[in-house]
Structure 1
């Protein structure tokens, strides 16, 4: 059943061949394991980055606490009573980190078309005032509040917002998280020029 090897030299050659095959198998397994570990590490890093970006796009946003408008007897030169500027009180959303309001983009969409600009780009069109933590225009805590004023009459194309009109305002942070609010002007504005009215 078993062949007896009588020649000692032949016996050693069989052992060396087996050893070479064994070492080759170990090397192949080591290389395959190295490739798998590298791939797993790369996928883990990519998954963490994707998770952080996705979380930022959901949580790194501002929320509108209140919104109002300033009455103008001649809204955007139309000769009609309307809203001359908008005032928003904003805060960072729950779970958000620091939100730099200078990097927030505002988009206005209504009957007069679309207007997009960064809050820092167009003074005196926009004005940002932090109530609680100084003048750096960064919301660092959920308790921080800031007033954002948008002068509709000072835009490149003055925005006419008269009685009964509506306007959609979207604030988008640098992380890409958006907050949309709807402005509806009452059909009858009660108040004098420069009075504030809740919208």
Structure 2
């Protein structure tokens, strides 16, 4: 007589095999979730750092600006043109320290657009170089504006005068003509001023622009 082997279907042995498979799948899911969480945390940290850096740069470019106190012109030519422009500057309210040696000046006048760097300052190939002198500087920080009371003079040499310590560029500014001055701090803060020459320079040694 043939003996039939008792069926194990639905017994505890089957349940044990199913339980081990489920456990393996569960562990795998936990590992995948942990790895994904780590990637998300690292990505979030990177994005946060990038956002903070971008926000700081935007803040610096807005607040770390140079404020123009006054602009004058002198060194008139025989053709009644202004040969030298002096710009007295200070730190804008709320700005941090501003290094004029790393500042860029753009002059847009009747004869064209010219970029200037400080004489002896940052390396580059500008159209000319402006000179820096002290008007007021209690702690000897020139060329860095590090105090609200600091006042420095930026001197631009238009044409070929070459006698004020600056490197000449472009052409002199004629009577009645207008130019645009853009001063950009190392942090990217830009100050724009319009320079207007008087309609007559006759009898003057220096004029306010």
Return the TM-score normalized by structure 1.
0.83
Unaligned residue ranges in structure 2 (runs of 5+): 1-7, 122-127
Unaligned residue ranges in structure 1 (runs of 5+): none
Greater Rg by CA: 2
Offset from partner CA, 1:151-176 (integer Å, 9 cap, x none) = 22335445221211111111112222
Is contact 1:129–1:135 with CA below 8 Å preserved after alignment? Answer: no
Using the alignment, how far apart are the partners of 2:102 and 2:62 within structure 1?
Answer: 17
Aligned match for 1:181, one of 193, 197, 201: 193
Seen in structure 2, the aligned counterparts of structure 1 residues 22 and 158 have a Cα distance that, compared at 3 Å, is closer
Bigger helix fraction: 1
Using the alignment, how far apart are the partners of 2:42 and 2:130 within structure 1?
Answer: 50
Using the alignment, how far apart are the partners of 2:75 and 2:146 within structure 1?
Answer: 32
State the match for 2:30 in structure 1.
Answer: 26
Using the alignment, how far apart are the partners of 1:198 and 1:29 within structure 2?
Answer: 70
Offset from partner CA, 1:122-171 (integer Å, 9 cap, x none) = 9x963212321315300112332111121223354452212111111111
Aligned match for 1:14, one of 9, 15, 18: 18
> Is 1:35 paired with 2:39?
yes
